[in-house]
Structures are given as structure tokens and as C-alpha cells.
Chain A
Amino acid sequence: MSTTAEPGVAEPAATGVHERFTALAERQIELGEVRGAAAADPVNLPMIRHWTAAMGDANPVYTDAAFAGASVHGEIVAPPAMAQVWTMPGLGGGKGGTSPVDELMVALDEDGFTGVVATNCEQTYHRYARLGERLVPATRMTGLAGPKTTALGVGYFVTWLVTWYSEDEPVAEMMFRVLKFRPREEKAAPEERTRYPLRPAVNRDTAFFWEGVQEGELRIQKCGDCGELRHPPGPVCPSCRSANRVYAVASGLGEVYSFVVHHNPPVPGIETPFVVAVIALPEGIRVVGNVVECSPEKVGIGMPVRVEYREMDDELTLPMWVPRES
């Protein structure tokens, strides 16, 4: 499994539990390297061929005896990244035996750290494995770090090292790190943004505006017949009675025509003080919106602004106005 997991500020776990994990980890580290069960099959061409086909890897040193024979290898070799493949338990699990990591993982599971994501995989290849070699893995527990607060929840990083031997010669090594985490409450994941409480009513007369904002366009209603621009929009052109409506996309530039700084009472969904302004657009209409990215004292009538779009939550985007050079 792979998902982003950024380590952050540590949160204290229940002391007893943490000490138990630490003690267990220390004991496992002291065990040192523990040999596991040898690969079920020796390094072999059929499995290499399956692997290279699935990966789309056309390197002939893995499958073409003639090419491989004339290469630096002098014979067919296994792709280095297959090192771990040879000793995978396969379907049904095989007789893998235990590794020093297992006991700690079980203990973490039992205390609610049931989530797991791999965070790092670092492989070093001493040499390429040759057909017929039967690899044996050996695992060494190397570290336990935590508890740490991550995007997924509070958890422990567990690190171990696997070495694959051919006879007594190390062929490849892998450092592997996972985050064992306590999943957040179900309702929090997938995390949904708080719903912004101040919502417009939208109907068929105004939907084009809000859809435009969602797409990063400031749309102004335009009469499809006489071409008059109008905001706020309405169903019928007051100049020519036409109900044929289109829209123009505004340049997104404007200047502050009037503004207020709201202090009291508190407004749901917005931190006070905040600025609301009537913005005059060069297109000849006015719109109302917040002026942001500018301290309230700096806002003034005539100040040049340009539109930006802010996602207030998963559904609502609002146009906002930021200062610009005139």
C-alpha cells in the first residue's frame, strides 16, 4: 500500500502502551538478523519471463541467452528488482516462518494501530542473481519511531532490513519502512471540508453566474438581442423585453466603488474583521464581493482590484477581489 504519510508533531500515546512497544522493539532489534525460509524456487527463466512481460521490460540480458552470453554478465541474469519476488510467500502463504517484525506488528494491531502504509523502500544490489541460485531472506528489525501525528492518523514508523543471500553471499538488501497508524474516526475519512454556511440561492436565472465562478469565469448577463449588460441578472431584458439571454465574460478587473469593514456581530463562516466592497467593472456594471489579501486599513475607494476564485467548500466557489497595480 502506498499513501502519503507526513510525519508531524508527536502526540503522546498512553504511556504504558508506548513503553511496551519500545521494549518489544528493543528486544527484536537485539535479536539481530533472523534467517527466513529459502525461496520456493530457484531463480528461473519462466518467472523472469512473466515478470519482464508484465513490466514491459525488454532488456535482453534477462531473457535472451545469446545476448546475455555476449554481455557483461556472460549469462542470463535476473532483474535486480526481482530480489524480493523470489522469496514472496505466493498464493496460499507458503511456509514463510516468522520474522522479527511480526510480533511488533501484531502488538500494534492489537492496540488499534491497524492501518498500514509503506513509506520507503530502498534496495541495494550487490550483484545480479543468476539462474539456479536459491535465495534465502534474512530480516533484521532496525527501528521503531513514534508516536507521530501524520495525515493518516497517529502512528509508529517501523523499519526493517532484509538481506537476500545466495549461500552465504549477500546478493541484495532492502530497507523497508511502514507507518502503522490508528485510523481516524470513520466520519472524518475521507475528510470533507466544513460546509461554508453562507450560500446563495441559485435558480435558472442565475445558475450561469455560479457555474462561471466554478470554472474561473466572471460572467455578466448580456441580452441576446439588444446586447445590454446587466448585473445582477434577471430573466427579462428591461431594455427590450427579450428573454434571450447570453453572457459576456468580464475581464476580471475592477475598482473599489464603495466598501465596508465588518466587525460586529460575528458572521458565520467568516473571520472578522473582513471587507465587503461594491466593485465597479470596466464593463460598466457593479458587483459585490470581498476584498482579500489586503489589510482593511489599506482598502480605499478607487483601489484597483482583480478577481480571484476561492473554493469555500467542495461545492461553492466565490469570486474574491485582490489588490492589483493600476
Chain B
Amino acid sequence: MHSLSGHTAVAGIGATEFSKASGRTELQLAAEAVFAALDDAGLAPSEVDGLVTYTQDGNQEIAVAREVGIGDLSFFSRVDYGGGAACGTVLHAAMAVATGAASTVVCYRAFNERSGRRFGQPDARLGGEPSSHGMEMSWHVPFGLMTPAAWVAMFARRYMHAYGATSEDFGRVAVAMRRHAAVNPAAWFYQRPITLEEHQASKWIVEPLHLLDCCQESDGAVALVVTSAERARDLRRSPAVITAAAQGSGAGQMMMTSFYRDDMSGLQEMGVVARGLWEMSGMSPRDIQAAILYDHFTPFVLSQLEELGFCGRGEARDFMAGGGIEIDGHLPVNPHGGQLGEAYIHGMNGIAEAVRQIRGTSVNQVEGTQNVLVTAGTGVPTSGLILSRE
């Protein structure tokens, strides 16, 4: 059995504008992003034979195919667990291409998350349905523990207790992301940096999380074209080769509420992804020049640095000190501004940024970028990628 590493690449990226009210349907957003990604790659819709999206996406593959003018599909798939699906869609697409199940697969995520259904709002129905997910939620929703911020805050409190991290440490993540977004014209928070004092002064959402520890909510769509590395070399853009792709779920895993297993100070599922990425790529953290770390809430950026091995357990606060994850630090994280600064497109916009970093076309370009590591949603079963320049 041969490795998936190096056989496939991201050949095109596309997106809509990122807004708070797109003014159009999620299907239209999906179609626009897919067109943009295909145009970026220099491919026609008729050349696409595979589509992958998130289980949570409101647009079925067949609907997107109809809208865009894609003909026969030989592969279609969906990846579960919210934002944890992001890199997983690329893994599924890469596997389909590597095995011959499809030749050109488009991954997409499109939603009106701000003007439509907002994930951050309490929904009493979460605990109401007798599915396994509903039963899981039923241990938490009756007590009002029912928003992503609250679930993450439960881990953050334990992390602070275990390692002496403070709210200011979390705040430094937000400050770095807003610094990056401030010079990214595509970012919602373009030209709007924040200070640590502003972070500390922002209202409580769920203690210990302030408002500025939580990412924004956005309308928008992103699409990616995955094809073989060989074919990608002949296309319009230089390929971002998929050196590694992995999904991860840990023992005793739950959807944001894995409170019943380990000491709650890490992210077991991200540890699974990390092992997968390092094993498939044959690399180590030293080989990575920039990282796209899922930042829906600041505390999990610290946990990810540790799970991925960029620093030791409990050392992330020191790793980040003095701008360590900023554009000029020792590991630039989310040069586009992340979901805290650019937009919340469920992690898909981060993969697009990783591709730009590989191509050398980012507004916050990191010098000498050879390999970029990308992660997906945290606290949920998740996924990751290492993309490389040829």
C-alpha cells in the first residue's frame, strides 16, 4: 500500500466576499465560490467529476453540480463534525483522486452563518432529538451548556488551572489575528487591529472567555479544486501539493463536550491528527514555516501548538510571548487573520490562505514558505493538512 503523500495537489481556490449579510442564497454563494476556484485553476465545470462538502452544509452536491453545470459525478462525499470537516474534505478528495475514483474534485463550504442560522446562538432543540448526537447533547443542554463558547470555556478553565495560563495569554492570540487581518483587504476586520487592553475590556461571553476570544460570524463561501499533482503542474497555478492529510478522533470523543475522559487540558483528537500528519509527511514541526490553526476560540490555538509539537505541554504561552505567532514571529500563524480576523467560513478560508502562502501570493506573505500546516475545527473530531511547494 503506498502513501497518499505527494500524489495530489490543490490546484485552485475561490471565494465570495466575506460579509455579515450576503443577500443571496447559500446555493448561490456555493456556485460563485466553485466558479472562482475553477477559474483560478483554469478548469471548466465539465472537467469536475467529484464534489465533497461538510455534513452541515445546506447545499447538496447535486444542487451545486446543477447550478455550476457540472455533468457526471463519479464521487461525492461529506465530512462530519462542523468545522472539524475542513481539511477532511481535502483528504477525501485526495483519496478519491489518488485511487482513481475521480480525477478532479471540488471541495466547498457555503453558508449564511451570520444572516441565517447562527451557530453561537442557543438552540433548545439540540438536546431534543433521540439521535446519538441528541443524546450526547442531552447531558449538557438542560443545564444551559449549549453554545460553542461555553463548551470551549469549560476546557479553557481547566487549561488555565493546569498550566497557569491567563486570559491575557488567550488575548495575545486575538491581538495577533487582528493585526494580520488589519492589512488583509478581504478580511472583515481590515484596518481594525485591537490591543490587549481592548481584549481584556470586552464583555464576558462565557467566563473565562471574553467577546474578543470568540471568532466572528460570517456569510460567505470558499471552494478548493483538488486534482493529481501531475495534472496540477499543467494548470494555470503552481500546485500546492498535499504532503499529508489526516483526520482524528480520540477515545471517549464527543462533539465539543469531551469532558469525561482525560484531564481536559489538551485536544486528544488533534494529537491523533498530528501523529498522522508527521507520519505521512515524514516531517517534524521544524519543517513548517507557517501554520493555519483553527481559531474559532483563542484558547484552543494554545492547545494546538502543543498537540502539534511546536512546543511542549503548557508552554504555548511562552511560545507566543513577544509576538511568537505573529507574521514576524518564529511561527507565523494565520497570516490572513484567521477566523477571528478574516472570516468564519468553517476553516475553509484557512486552507485557501495556506495555498496562497505556498504560491507566494498572500497579502501577508511569509518568506521562504515551503510547507504550511493547516488544522480544522477544535474540540470536535477534526482534521489537518500539510501543503507544500514543489
Contacts and interface: CB of A to CB of B under 8 A. Distances in A.
Interface of A: 196-203, 205-206, 231-232, 257-270, 273-274, 276, 278, 285-290, 296, 301, 312, 316, 318
A270 B257 CA distance: 20
A201 B120 contact: no
Interface stretch (B40-48, B75-83, B203-211, B331-339): B203-211
Contacts, number: 127
B142 A200 contact: yes
Interface stretch (B153-161, B219-227, B366-374): B153-161
B341 to A, nearest CB: 21
B122 A267 contact: yes
Contacts of A203: 130, 135
Given A198-B124, A201-B138, A290-B144, A260 B150 contact: yes
Contacts of B158: 257-258, 278, 301
Interface in B223-274: 257, 259-260, 264
B122 A268 contact: yes
B129 interface: yes
Interface string B195-222: 0000000011111100100000000000
Contacts of A301: 157-158, 161
Contacts of B144: 198, 262, 267, 269-270, 274, 276, 290
A266 B121 CA distance: 9
B207 A296 contact: yes
Given A196-B142, A201-B135, A265-B121, 6 more contacts: A201-B128, A258-B158, A260-B208, A262-B145, A265-B147, A266-B122
A264 B205 contact: yes
The 3 closest A-B pairs by CB, nearest first: A200-B138, A261-B207, A263-B204
B206 A263 contact: yes
B140 interface: yes
From A262, A287, A318, name the one whose CB has the most chain B CB atoms within 10 angstroms.
A262
The secondary-structure label for the interface of chain A is: loop
Given A201-B128, A258-B154, A265 B122 contact: yes
A198 to B, nearest CB: 5
B146 interface: yes
B127 A288 contact: no
Interface of B: 120-122, 124, 127-131, 134-147, 150, 153-155, 157-158, 161, 203-208, 211, 257, 259-260, 264
B140 to A, nearest CB: 5
B154 A263 contact: no
B207 A289 contact: no
B145 A276 contact: yes
Contacts of B264: 257-258, 278
A210 to B, nearest CB: 9
A320 to B, nearest CB: 8
Contacts of B150: 260, 262, 276
A290 B142 CA distance: 9
A197 B143 contact: no
Contact of A198 (B120, B134, B141): B141
Given A201-B128, A203-B130, A286-B260, A260 B142 contact: no
B314 to A, nearest CB: 16
Contacts of B127: 198-201
A239 B158 CA distance: 28
A288 B145 contact: yes
B135 A206 contact: yes
Contacts of B147: 262, 265, 267
Contacts of A261: 204, 206-207
Nearest to A312: B142
25 contacts: A197-B124, A198-B143, A201-B127, A203-B130, A206-B138, A231-B260, A232-B135, A258-B264, A259-B157, A260-B145, A260-B154, A260-B208, A263-B207, A264-B203, A265-B120, A265-B121, A267-B144, A268-B122, A273-B204, A274-B144, A276-B154, A286-B260, A287-B139, A318-B142, A318-B143
A67 B206 CA distance: 81
Contacts of A265: 120-122, 147
Nearest to B121: A265
Nearest to B153: A260
A316 B144 CA distance: 14
From B128, B134, B142, B204, name the one whose CB has the most chain A CB atoms within 10 angstroms.
B142
B185 to A, nearest CB: 30
Contacts of B121: 265
B142 A201 contact: no
